[in-house]
Chain A
Amino acid sequence: MPTAMAPEPAAKTVLEATRITKVFREGREEVSVLNGVDIALGAGEIVALEGPSGSGKTTFLSILGCILTPTSGRVVVDGEEIDPARSHRLPAIRKRSIGFIFQQYNLFPALTALENVEYALNIKGVSGRAARDQAEEALAAVDLVDRRRFLPRDLSGGQKQRVAIARAIAGKPAVLLADEPTANLDSAVGAQILELFRTLAKSEHRGLLIVTHDPNVRSIADRVVKIRDGRIVADSAPPSLATRVTARRGKSKEKAS
């Protein structure tokens, strides 16, 4: 089995999972979803996590996001080791260190763009003027200040995802976890969102893990991790554009011959 690639020595590791297993009980049966997976994510690093449906991506993401605890294995988020016996600590770790971006955006429909971000900051313990200022700052980072008074229903898909990203980066978490963030967007808007991700991860040194089926995500990823049947089957730098073109030509020639 290929092993997880360590982040560059200079980059601080913001998320590390070692030998993670997860077994769900269904009646008397035990279903093993993850079988000893490892991953490490450095500050400013972008990792694409790919895999077919049922491969364990979402379960792995839930464990990395401190939503689920693993059956065994070790998770360290921004320097804090997760203790499965102290699951009540998980919300506090999520508040402090993790920002989520969802496929369906999951914005609060009754709140404006600004209020969506502000409310998340309130949950994180930031309130009043400070919350308002930080929310404005986060919306400015995603270039959406002019839409701050809009309700989600009045925003396009790309704008909703920008609000969701602003909500995720507000409070400056060390780790951003994105679940299929471009799945509901057309390719042009998806490309803009990916560029935004790249900028945010690199300029603000956040570790970004993107669970995706979208091959375009590779264009911004530092590494691509493939998961299948609960195991990591590949962990490598994405092929460069030249490599990909060469590979495609090679395949064409094989077909022609």
Chain B
Amino acid sequence: MPNLALKNLLHDKLRSAMTIAGVAFAVTLVFVQVGLFMGILDNASVTIDHLAADLWVTSRNTPNVDFAHGFPETLVQRARSSPGVERADNLLIQFLNLTLPNGAEEGMLVYGLEDFTRWGMPWAIDSGNLEDLRRGAYMFLDASAERRFGKFSVGDYREVMGRRVKIIGRSREALSFTTSPIAFLTYDLVQELSGGRMDGRTTYILVKLAPDADATAVAAELRRRLPHNDVYTKAAWAKRSRNYWVASTGIGLNMYLTVFLGCLVGVVVVTQTLYTSTMEHIKEFGTVKAIGGSNADIYRILGAQAVIAAVIGFIAGRLMAFALAPAMEKIRLKLIISHEFAAIVFVGTLVLCLVAALVSFRKVAKIDPALVFRG
């Protein structure tokens, strides 16, 4: 059967290109906006995602991983003695001031653990040995700190809360939502640098489950043993940390608004071009009716045109977003586009293109086939 929809699209190359460009533009916009949003949100939970903890014990109502509150560090013993717990350690996260060589002070987020290697943190190391952290006033500093602190090298010293700390290692990819650079120091050193306010206190207890342990049951037991704390699974804690920023900063609203505008632009462009195309082919559609075709026959043609535009436009938009990712990375912006999200955008593109075709559907439904007799 001749595919009239496809043939019409190929016949009207310029208009088809405009339709597809409209869809591709909208798809690219949605991918880039949501991809950047996901990239930024990823920073809000990247350390949670990489830390090898199955459960997190936090102080009551801690809103996100960066805004930690203290509680007695001895509570870790209750966690360690719980059935199903293989290991539990204190994690101290604090905002501390670092003095730059030019005298300026900047804040940074420090992670303090007794043994980072046990918890797989930091997960990407450019240089240095984590075992050496215990040998003195040393720290690992993430490479992303160069944006705020300027260039640094392993072996350099920086003042943290007035005390000289040597940089003995360099990590990658450890980012915070607030863009504060992340450093890794021993638990004791972080307590010491905190100037006494965190003496005997921690901010989190990391829990690793024993093999075959039931996470829900262990979490319930921990809640029973630590009634003044909250206990989260890794996924729940990561979600809570991300949601905090979505709700509190308005970036979620901004993202939804941009996605809505992108979709609107796409729908308007596709509606306009499909409708113009329909009007130009109105006599052909009248002919289809005159030779016995029904409205459904014409809907199939218009629907197929919309679907073809959606599929090609989606592929073009996806490729454009794919091509933009390296350029984004150069300016240190992460573009995260999951397969699930791509599938959602594909279905959304199909639906929106079909919605755009509805205006044309209404037009052809009213075609008088007698128009074929008009010269």
Footprint of B on A, CB under 8 Å? 58, 61-62, 65, 67-68, 91-92, 94-96, 98-100, 102-104, 106, 108-111, 115, 118-120, 122-124, 127-128, 131, 167, 179-180, 183
Contact = CB atoms under 8 A, between A and B. Distances in A.
Given A108-B284, A110-B7, A115-B2, 5 more contacts: A98-B292, A104-B283, A104-B375, A111-B2, A127-B1
Contacts of B294: 91
A218 to B, nearest CB: 21
Majority SS of interface residues in chain B? helix
A91 B7 CA distance: 24
15 contacts: A65-B290, A67-B290, A91-B289, A91-B293, A94-B290, A100-B372, A104-B375, A106-B284, A106-B290, A108-B7, A110-B8, A118-B1, A120-B291, A123-B292, A127-B1
A102 B369 CA distance: 12
Contacts of A94: 290-292
Nearest to A103: B375
B4 A62 contact: no
A115 B7 CA distance: 10
B370 A119 contact: no
B292 A119 contact: no
Among A68, A120, A123, chain B packs the most CB atoms within 10 A around the CB of: A123
B10 interface: yes
B9 to A, nearest CB: 8
A102 B373 contact: yes
A123 B2 contact: no
Contact of A110 (B11, B288, B290): B11
A62 B286 CA distance: 13
Contacts of B290: 65, 67, 94, 100, 106
A111 B292 contact: no
A108 B4 contact: yes
B4 to A, nearest CB: 6
Contacts, number: 78
Nearest to B375: A103
The 9 closest A-B pairs by CB, nearest first: A95-B292, A110-B11, A110-B7, A115-B2, A94-B292, A106-B287, A123-B293, A62-B370, A110-B8
Given A61-B373, A102-B373, A110 B10 contact: yes
A110 B283 CA distance: 13
Contacts of B293: 91, 123
A179 B290 CA distance: 13
B373 A179 contact: yes
B297 interface: yes
Given A108-B4, A108-B284, A110-B10, A167 B291 contact: yes
Given A91-B289, A123-B291, A123-B293, A106 B4 contact: no
B272 to A, nearest CB: 21
Contacts of B2: 111, 115, 118-119, 122
Contacts of A98: 292
- Chain B, interface residues (CB within 8 Å), range: 20 to 34
B291 A95 contact: yes
Interface in B20-79: none
Contacts of B369: 67
Contacts of A183: 375
A92 B292 CA distance: 6
Interface string B1-18: 110100110111000000
Q: With a 10 A CB-CB cut-off, give which of B2, B11, B370 has the most chain A CB atoms.
A: B2
Contacts of B7: 108, 110-111, 115
A98 B292 CA distance: 9
Nearest to B7: A110
Among A58, A65, A99, A106, the one with the most B-chain Cβ atoms within 10 Å of its Cβ is: A106
B59 to A, nearest CB: 69
Contacts of B11: 109-110
A111 B1 contact: no
A192 B1 CA distance: 31
Nearest to A117: B2
A12 B294 CA distance: 30
A106 B372 contact: yes
A96 B292 CA distance: 8
Nearest to A179: B373
